[in-house]
């Protein structure tokens, strides 16, 4: 076997209604596996950030499902089998139950997760 990671290998760093994020860090990068249930939207979690949008850049791959990314200039839909780059300034919507791999600068992701934890606690 190789040195790959699986869902079960990673600790859960966020679990909420319809959302689970598992993460490991490699150098300065956060490598996450995420599951969102159909209908989950991130805007409520990102309330209070500039334009109520995620301020991280992400590189990733849609493993299963269909995701819509909302930006100030419009929305784009991504389906299973597609790789992506999402620049800062976005929100997500799971059009179906979805699972995806995401790579983000760890420092930026830490700040985002601290914000989300505060929102979820209030």
Share of the chain above pLDDT 90, in %: 89
How confident is the model over 91-106, as pLDDT tens digits? 999 999 999 999 999 9
Neighbours of 100 (CB within 10 A): 23
Buried b (16+ CB within 10 A) or exposed e, 15-33: eeeebbbbbeeeeeebbbb
The C-alpha atoms of residue 41 and residue 18 are separated, in whole angstroms, by 10
State the DSSP code for 54.
B
Provide the whole-model pTM.
0.91
Whether residue 2 is predicted with pLDDT greater than 80 in this model: the reply is no
> Domain limits of the chain?
7-121
Topology at the third CATH level for domain 7-121:
Jelly Rolls (2.60.120)
How confident is the model over 19-53, as pLDDT tens digits? 999 999 999 999 999 999 999 999 999 999 999 99
């Amino acid at each position: 076997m190789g040195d790959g990671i699986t869902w079960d290998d990673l600790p859960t760093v966020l679990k909420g209604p319809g959302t689970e994020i598992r993460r490991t860090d490699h150098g300065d990068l956060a490598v996450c596996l995420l599951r969102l249930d159909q209908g989950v939207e991130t805007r409520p979690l990102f309330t209070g950030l500039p334009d109520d949008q995620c301020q991280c850049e992400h590189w990733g791959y849609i493993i299963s499902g269909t995701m819509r990314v909302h930006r100030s200039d419009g929305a784009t839909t991504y389906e299973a089998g597609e790789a992506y780059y999402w620049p800062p300034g976005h929100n997500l919507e799971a059009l179906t139950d979805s699972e995806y791999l995401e790579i983000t600068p760890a420092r930026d992701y830490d700040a985002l997760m601290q914000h989300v934890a505060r929102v979820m606690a209030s």
